Amino acid sequence: MKKATVGFAFCGSYCTFSKVLKQFELLSELGYDLIPIMSENAYSTDTRFGKAKDFADKIEGISGKKIISTISGAEPIGPKKMCDILVVAPCTGNTLAKLSNGITDTSVTMAVKSHLRIQRPVLLAPATNDALGSSAQNIGRLFNVKNIYFVPMAQDDCVNKPNSLVADFNLLTEALEEALNRRQIQPLFKVC
Ligand SMILES: Cc1cc2nc3c(=O)[nH]c(=O)nc-3n(C[C@H](O)[C@H](O)[C@H](O)COP(=O)(O)O)c2cc1C
């Protein structure tokens, strides 16, 4: 049976890129057709975790497709029914805030808006140091939005970063398969 087409959007949580790339590669090995998307920041920012171009080259190599990294590039995702599901991994606090408040000023927020327009599932995998601080209200609001699902999350360092939550990227494929069936994988919160 043909596997689903997965839009896969990377935001600027650079420290999680290598873990997410492993899951991206796994989805490709499992036979999912991957449409790669990067936020403008993720696509263009070199950090101590690596050069943007190196990540982009890997992503294009795995998916065999050019990365969508502009609002105009992401706009057809819904109207052309390009994806069965859209994954945002890693999803930054910045993108969570925009999604929660209806702001569409990046390739990723445009991709989500466009895809939600045709009522297909979106799977978010947050990674943000303020998840239990200023992002908490945004995450909470998104729990209550139709067609939005989450990869299970855990506090990654509750002593030194008590407001931080990171998705368990190892559960991404399982969460995706559930979300394709319109179910939220449980438990949503894990103990680290
Ligand atoms: C080295 C580095 C690491 C970062 N890690 C994170 C992170 O893990 N989570 C997060 O929410 N923001 C993180 N940021 C901040 C985001 O990159 C920033 O908010 C950016 O505006 C996100 O844009 P985007 O959501 O469009 O990708 C990091 C920034 C830098 C420079």
Q: Which domains does the chain have, with CATH numbers?
A: 5-180 (3.40.50.1950)
Question: Which pLDDT score is estimated for 145?
Answer: 98
pTM exceeding 0.85 = yes
Q: Is 93 exposed, middle or buried (0-12, 13-18, 19+ CB in 10 A)?
A: buried
Task: Identify the band that residue 190 occupies on the pLDDT scale cut at 50, 70 and 90.
Answer: confident
| DSSP-derived secondary structure letter, 47 | B
The verdict on the CB of residue 164 being under 6 Å from ligand 1 is no
Distance 41 CA to ligand 1 centre (A): 8
Task: Identify the band that residue 192 occupies on the pLDDT scale cut at 50, 70 and 90.
Answer: low
Task: Give residues with Cβ within 8 angstroms of 140, minimum separation 6.
Answer: none
Average pLDDT, the chain: 97
Question: Which pLDDT score is estimated for 2?
Answer: 82
Alpha carbon nearest to ligand 1 atom 25, residue = 95
Alpha carbon nearest to ligand 1 atom 2, residue = 14
